[in-house]
Structure 1
Amino acid sequence: MARALTAPPWLTEGLRPRSAPVPWAAAARASVALAAPLAVGTATGRPGYGALVSMGALSGVIGDTADAYRMRVFNIAVPQLFGALGMLFGTLVFGTGWTAVVTVTVVALVSGMISSIGAVASVSGLLLLLNAVVGAGLPLPSPWWLPPALLLLGGLVVLTLTLLAWPLRLGVPERAVVAGTYRAAADLLAAAGTPEYDGRRHALTQSLNQSYDLLLARRARRHGRSPTLARLLAQLNALIPVVEAAPAAQLRPPEFGPLPADYPAAVRALADAVERDRAGPAPPLALPSPAGPSTRALVEAIEHAATVAYEASPAPYAADDRLGRPARLAVRARRAARALLLSGASWRYGLRLALCIGLAQVLVSVIAVPRSYWVALTVTFVMKPDFGSVFSRAVLRAFGTAAGLLIAIPVLAEVPHGWWDVPVMAVLATLIPVLSAKGYAFQTAAITPVILLLSDLLNHQGFHLVLPRLYDSLIGCGISLLAGYLLWPESWHTRIGDRLADAVQDTASYVSLAFATGPGPDEPAARARYRRRLYRDLSAVRSEFQRALTEPPPVGARARAWWPVVIAVERIVDTTTATRVRIEHGAPVPTTAEVAAVTRELADLAEALRTGERLPEARPDALSPDCALARLHHEVRAARAVAAPLP
């Protein structure tokens, strides 16, 4: 009986809090940024103005997710401009009936389309629609330009607080991110030969993605002019041979025993040198003598990384070798605009969001719903494309709102308006960064009482806001589930199989490239670039599958059935990298026939995953047990065995 009453994993997965450190600095900034405007508004007799400034500050707090200060300026300022524009549209159509419905629906279409461009565009689209809904649903101070201006002032408060430490911490966040990647590589080496290896490798991939995204975004604007940036990129690129040698260490023969702890310790020492910005001659490394191709490759990689880590002035363009130079901002802007207008996914999501917002606006226009803007606000948050699955977001939003209302009830019922609002807001605001790191439901629980308190300062409904907000949230979640999930075939016929098939096909191409015998000075760099792209794609596939695991059947059940194939493909890529590294340090070179046999079986697997047809029988084994690719062939056969019975 107890087992029958247990909630299914796809329902409870998002309610488990993630392990994350407490962001004390972010909590302090949020407290000051949201409480100070209320204090000024109360002191001047304009609490509504203070509430609007705090609302703009809330948007800035939510958007402040970057590490480097230059990126934080971009991440806060750009979405604030879109948020002010949305507030302007909403204010102009307030009280206009069906004109407001049409306007907000069109804004939803634009918001959905621009959200598909990237992370900053996603937050910009969110604030564009969010503030348009608020402006169209709440009576705000006049004239028309005042609410957008107050919102921008709130964003400026957050930006100012964020940048106060910039002169004292110049370059520190960038160094910390690169050093964190070095430590992730050390953790991976420490996990070689243990069950923790796969999890550590995934963590390293995420850390590499974060570091390259941060540094390459800056390089597009400052390339060749920043010695600090050139040095950090050189240090990050110098870590790649260590990353490539890690799979070889993982696949060492058992007779060599566990990997000595001196190797990860040496990489951690390099992480400290990067973080503390040390320069000069590299200290001697006390590494054990190599015991085969795997450790020989690892020793050479660590020694090279040590030389670069301590080098004071690397060549400014040396960092281009691994990933190539990024496109100029103008080129990337044209690509983004082309993707926005011509991408089927962009239009599908824009229409999907517009349909849900339109239904919400029509519903509250036909049926008398007090302060009906909350319905559309709920739809806006639930339908964001990068927050996870629509189904799980709707469920988590309902739970999070209910929890947030429990916090808001004593505040709205017992706290009198006036100066008491300031300390209460200071406390509630600290919860936003702290709980946001725990998960979507926890973020919703933290934001809900803050928005309710700010709304109450604008419309003075007090405790009577609580139950209508719960009903409105449930209505918004219901609209999202019906019009944003159930009515769309892609919700039920997920494309995770296609994504996985593409990854397998790319893996086959990587195998061919890894063991190509053609000459060329750019061959190692080309392999490194392809491997980095493949690992990034596999990380995206893993994230897509993890989102699918939170869906109800049949999507969640199918994702769980295919999950072992994802792990198997990652092992194939690791084994390919390890084999290539061993070849470069004395292991036998595979023949063309051996490479062709492996790639052929991978191509068959990709085709079966893409079409859903039965996986053809493996061809007669042309590879001997002692050939150069025997271990790789074993991993491919294992992946085919896992995939063969899948639907």
Structure 2
Amino acid sequence: MPRELPIGLTPPDWLVRNLRAQPAPVNRPAVVRAAIALALPLAIGLAFGRPSYGALASMGALNGVISDTAAAYRVRIPTIALPQLFGAVGVTLGALVHGHGWVAVAAVTGVALVSGMISTIGAVASASGLVLLLTCVVGAGLPMPGEWWLAPLLLSGGGLLVLVLALLAWPLRSGVPERAAVADTYRTVADLLTAVGGGAQAYDDARHAVTQSLNQSYDTVLAHRATHHGRSPELARLVAQLNAITPVVEAAPAAHLTGAPLPPEVPEAVRHLASAVETGTGPTVQKLPAPTTETARAVDHALRHAAEVVTTPDVDPRGIDDRLGRPAALSIRTARALRGVTLSAASWRYGLRLALCIGLAQTLVSIVPVPRSYWVALTITFVLKPDFGSVFSRALLRALGTVAGLVVAAAVLSEVPRGWWDVPALLLLAPLVPALTPRGYGYQTAAITPVILLVSDILNREGTGLLLPRLVDSLMGCAIALVAGYLLWPESWHTRVGDRLADAVDGTAHYVESAFGPNAVDPPARARMRRRLYRDLSAIRTEFQRALTEPPPTGRRAAAWWPLVVAVERIVDATTAGRVRVRHGAAPPSAAEVTQVVRQLRELAEGVRKAETPYAVRTDLTGPAESVLEPLRQEVAAARAIASPH
């Protein structure tokens, strides 16, 4: 029997959360692409007697590997190509100010401001801002070989090589990632139906998985459609199939509230539909038990509708409602993004925060002689990414990951002869980047460190002399990020998350009104509203989980409010369940019942918005026990009880 650690030696919960590896499958095609894209340019450079050129192209390929996160082929083009364009601009600007002292400090700080602001737009813009600043720092810190245009050409060429490798299978696998995403959503819905009537935690986890899968599928399919000229019948069919599974998702909470599990034939039928969606073949009709209750009829009706849509070979593209709204034209989206960046206080705040840290780093290394000083700014760039989670956690994991990566790098730089032996070394090290990145930031850092040190050694020829400066620079960067990017910006978790949770509660009150009030909206509008609510709640859940990785008092405050996030999700479920029951024969609630619930929700939202800690509330929800709103009243009362002090 293992001995328990003394209480004083037990690691704190926030540290355990930071160090825990996230479960994720290995993306084998990405692993192969990384190995080829990083090793091939170096091999070509060595063959032509220009290893430094090959090293620069490999560095660009590393940027491409980091950006290679999309599943759909059409989405990969902007996801990988756009950051390479920004990378070319960044290295050009950096090379122009290399060796110019305070001019270089001012230039890199200005690029940091721009990079930070555009990083708040979205995922692709975030990757572009990251690569812009990274390449600018490298260009300002290292002498680039050849003419001024050669470095950006080589860096971009390496990144575009990743894109070419990613698109090789497009003619044979066009549409496969989109179908796989929709099929995966059907399978998560089948898991949700399996969890119906079981434990609350298992059902909550399954519902959260459905929300994440729906978000990913809609993003994948609609992003593909936004880049597709005209209406594609295949994409319209996938959107129709996603829309068709929505009534099944809506019926699940109504079935769960009965406390009885569904017949096993029901989730098995959904898994059968998932296989049909993935293969593109029509499913055979599954035999389902005859429904005997209103909730069973709702599940049966929704499932038969989904089967009909999946079986239908042709869908009219003009009659498809996307549930999340139609994607705007590229010019409109670009204008909105630019307006949001220039007018958003959050964009300016993050840009100034990043610029302050980069400016301090550049000033420090200009005053104090630091070997390979550009690593300080590179560390800050990675740690302060806006969409990568807690700055504190990233600084901690960056330091630990760097130490682990340096151990591997020390073995490679001391034992592997320089020259052609670098190629098989990269072939072995490069696949670790896409393999370990999904596991967590510390694991990604441990994988990237030996790769980038090997490439840097080809440019500098310093061998193991790189290791100690690399460690010192990383620790300096982490320290600057913690002090100037974290401690000096007292934005508590409540400022970041509490307001968003309050907005979600307000949105839930509006959803209740729209479902049962006198001005109830039509089903498609209600479905879009519910999807937006679940998407917002999923993002809030992610923010809370990030806050839990921070040390006290931030992590402790997040833990105190965490049950309320789950409670609000259950309120949305109860509202949907009530609406489903009314649609299948139950009596609608009275206006007084609806008004009472809406008032309680808005009071709860106002309390969450103002409170820093759990606060006292009053609950006076009453009504007929047979009403469809009785489960909703119970969930609202539970949520308000969670907000009360214990």
Cα pair 2:43 2:420 within 8 Å, conserved: yes
Matched, 1:209 2:215: yes
Counterpart-to-counterpart distance in 1, 2:509 and 2:132: 43
Matched, 1:39 2:43: yes
SS in 2 for 1:53: helix
SS in 1 for 2:456: helix
Matched, 1:184 2:188: yes
Q: Which residue of 1 aligns with 2:644?
A: 644
Counterpart-to-counterpart distance in 2, 1:323 and 1:491: 31
SS in 1 for 2:504: helix
- 1:263 alignment partner AA: V
Q: Which of 251, 260, 265 is the matching residue for 2:263?
A: 260
Counterpart-to-counterpart distance in 2, 1:55 and 1:337: 29
Q: How does 1:474-485 map to 2 (within 5 A)?
A: 474-485=475-486
Cα pair 1:186 1:268 within 8 Å, conserved: yes
Return the offset for 1:223. Answer: 6.2
Deviation string 1:210-249 (CA, Å, 9 cap, x unpaired) is 1111111222243643111111111111111111111112
Counterpart-to-counterpart distance in 2, 1:194 and 1:560: 25
Return the offset for 1:617. Answer: 2.1
Counterpart-to-counterpart distance in 2, 1:88 and 1:167: 35
Matched, 1:564 2:576: no
TM normalised by structure 1 equals: 0.97
Counterpart-to-counterpart distance in 2, 1:525 and 1:55: 48
Counterpart-to-counterpart distance in 1, 2:285 and 2:213: 27
Cα pair 1:321 1:525 within 8 Å, conserved: no
Matched, 1:584 2:587: no
Cα pair 1:492 1:554 within 8 Å, conserved: no
Cα pair 2:94 2:108 within 8 Å, conserved: yes
Q: How does 1:250-289 map to 2 (within 5 A)?
A: 250-252=256-258, 254=259, 257-279=260-282, 283-289=284-290
Return the offset for 1:492. Answer: 6.6
Cα pair 1:494 1:555 within 8 Å, conserved: no
Q: Which residue of 2 aligns with 1:473?
A: 474
Q: Which residue of 2 aligns with 1:199?
A: 205
Cα pair 1:23 1:434 within 8 Å, conserved: yes
Q: Which of 249, 255, 260 is the matching residue for 2:255?
A: 249
Cα pair 1:220 1:326 within 8 Å, conserved: yes
Decide whether aligned partners of structure 1 residues 493 and 201 sit closer, same or farther in structure 2, where only a CA change above 3 A counts: closer
Counterpart-to-counterpart distance in 1, 2:482 and 2:371: 22
Cα pair 1:178 1:232 within 8 Å, conserved: yes
Return the offset for 1:539. Answer: 0.5
Q: Which residue of 2 aligns with 1:145?
A: 149
Q: Which residue of 2 aligns with 1:306?
A: 307
Counterpart-to-counterpart distance in 1, 2:580 and 2:148: 65
Counterpart-to-counterpart distance in 2, 1:84 and 1:13: 37
SS in 2 for 1:365: helix
Counterpart-to-counterpart distance in 1, 2:128 and 2:434: 19
Q: How does 1:506-517 map to 2 (within 5 A)?
A: 506-517=507-518
Cα pair 2:194 2:261 within 8 Å, conserved: no
Q: How does 1:604-615 map to 2 (within 5 A)?
A: 604-612=603-611, 614-615=615-616
Out of 206-215 and 480-489, give the one that drifted further: 206-215
Counterpart-to-counterpart distance in 1, 2:225 and 2:46: 45
SS in 2 for 1:317: helix
Deviation string 1:388-437 (CA, Å, 9 cap, x unpaired) is 11000000000110100011001111211111000000000011111112
Decide whether aligned partners of structure 1 residues 171 and 532 sit closer, same or farther in structure 2, where only a CA change above 3 A counts: same
- 2:252 alignment partner AA: A
Matched, 1:318 2:310: no
Decide whether aligned partners of structure 1 residues 60 and 240 sit closer, same or farther in structure 2, where only a CA change above 3 A counts: same
- 2:235 alignment partner AA: L
Deviation string 1:104-123 (CA, Å, 9 cap, x unpaired) is 00000000000000000000
Out of 126-135 and 506-515, give the one that drifted further: 506-515
Q: How does 1:155-554 map to 2 (within 5 A)?
A: 155-195=159-199, 196-222=202-228, 224-252=230-258, 254=259, 257-279=260-282, 283-320=284-321, 322-491=323-492, 494-518=495-519, 523-554=522-553
Deviation string 1:521-573 (CA, Å, 9 cap, x unpaired) is x6111110100000000001101101111111111110000001111111111
Decide whether aligned partners of structure 1 residues 4 and 268 sit closer, same or farther in structure 2, where only a CA change above 3 A counts: same
Return the offset for 1:160. Answer: 1.2
Q: Which residue of 1 aligns with 2:108?
A: 104
Out of 18-27 and 344-353, give the one that drifted further: 18-27
Q: Which of 64, 70, 74 is the matching residue for 1:66?
A: 70
SS in 2 for 1:552: coil
SS in 2 for 1:14: helix
- 1:320 alignment partner AA: D
Cα pair 2:195 2:261 within 8 Å, conserved: no
Cα pair 1:234 1:318 within 8 Å, conserved: no
- 1:368 alignment partner AA: P
Counterpart-to-counterpart distance in 2, 1:618 and 1:590: 19
Cα pair 1:396 1:440 within 8 Å, conserved: yes
Counterpart-to-counterpart distance in 2, 1:84 and 1:410: 32
Cα pair 2:27 2:434 within 8 Å, conserved: yes
Counterpart-to-counterpart distance in 1, 2:138 and 2:438: 26
Structure 1: tracts of 5 or more residues without a match: none
Counterpart-to-counterpart distance in 1, 2:230 and 2:277: 20
Cα pair 1:224 1:316 within 8 Å, conserved: no
Cα pair 2:254 2:295 within 8 Å, conserved: yes
Return the offset for 1:57. Answer: 0.5
Deviation string 1:487-529 (CA, Å, 9 cap, x unpaired) is 001147643221111111111111111113447xx61111101
Return the offset for 1:15. Answer: 1.2
- 1:210 alignment partner AA: Q
Cα pair 2:617 2:641 within 8 Å, conserved: no
Aligned length: 638
Structure 2: tracts of 5 or more residues without a match: none
Cα pair 1:224 1:317 within 8 Å, conserved: no
Counterpart-to-counterpart distance in 1, 2:563 and 2:495: 17
Return the offset for 1:627. Answer: 2.6
Return the offset for 1:469. Answer: 0.5
- 1:264 alignment partner AA: P
TM normalised by structure 2 equals: 0.97
Deviation string 1:7-34 (CA, Å, 9 cap, x unpaired) is 2111221211111112111111100110
Return the offset for 1:616. Answer: 4.0
Cα pair 2:39 2:426 within 8 Å, conserved: yes
Q: Which residue of 2 aligns with 1:634?
A: 634
Q: Which of 136, 140, 161 is the matching residue for 1:136?
A: 140
Counterpart-to-counterpart distance in 1, 2:140 and 2:420: 29
SS in 1 for 2:431: helix
Out of 320-329 and 116-125, give the one that drifted further: 320-329
Deviation string 1:335-368 (CA, Å, 9 cap, x unpaired) is 1011010000000000000000000100101000
